[in-house]
């Protein structure tokens, strides 16, 4: 009896919609897990480009601590202008 009920529930979902999975995380949650917090220790404003994502990150005194993509962390820290916090 349970399997028939499951088919009926699945048929009731609009096309393209899937029932939420228990324990599933959203893309925003997964994205937050792939971020690293860095502190700019240089002087004056600077813009750096992530080696993996090619994203541009802009830092200055007012925005010295920011989240960056974890894949860009090694190349950005290697500049000597940033420390992971």
63 CB neighbour count, 10 Å cutoff: 11
| Angstrom distance (rounded) from CA 7 to CA 53 | 42
pLDDT of residue 55: 97
| Angstrom distance (rounded) from CA 42 to CA 55 | 20
Residue with tokens 């894949």: 71
pLDDT of residue 24: 52
| Confidence label for 48 from pLDDT (cuts 50, 70 and 90) | very high
| Confidence label for 66 from pLDDT (cuts 50, 70 and 90) | very high
Q: Is the pLDDT of residue 60 over 70?
A: yes
pLDDT of residue 46: 97
Q: Is the pLDDT of residue 5 over 70?
A: no
């Amino acid at each position: 009896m349970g399997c028939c009920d499951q088919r009926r529930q699945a048929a009731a979902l609009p096309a393209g919609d899937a029932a939420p999975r228990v324990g599933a995380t959203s893309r925003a949650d997964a994205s937050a897990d792939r971020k690293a917090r860095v502190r700019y220790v240089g002087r004056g404003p600077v813009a750096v480009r992530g080696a993996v994502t090619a994203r541009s990150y802009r830092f200055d005194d007012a925005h010295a601590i920011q989240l960056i993509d974890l894949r860009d962390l090694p190349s950005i820290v290697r500049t000597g202008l940033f420390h992971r916090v």
